[in-house]
Amino acid sequence: MNKKGAGSCRARYINVDKTETLVLNEIRNHILVPDKLSELAKEVEKELDNASEEYSDELKSVEREITDVNKRLESHFEFIESSRVLPQDLGSRIHELSQRKDKLGMRKK
**Single-letter residue type at 70:** N
Residue 31 CA, distance from chain mean position: 28
The Cα 77–Cα 73 span in angstroms is: 6
| CA distances in angstroms from 65 to 46, 70, 102, listed in the order given | 29, 9, 11
> What is the C-alpha separation between 101 and 68, in angstroms, rounded?
9
- Rounded distance, CA 98 to CA 91, Å? 10
**Per-residue pLDDT for 5 more than 70?**
no
Task: Record the pTM.
Answer: 0.56
Q: How far apart are CA 87 and CA 80, in angstroms?
A: 6
Q: pLDDT tens digit string along 26-64?
A: 999 988 899 999 999 999 999 999 999 999 999 999 999
Helix (H, G, I), strand (E, B) or coil at 90: helix
Task: Write the pLDDT tens digit of every residue in 68-104.
Answer: 999 999 998 888 888 777 777 778 888 898 999 999 9
Q: How many CB atoms lie within 10 A of CB 50?
A: 10
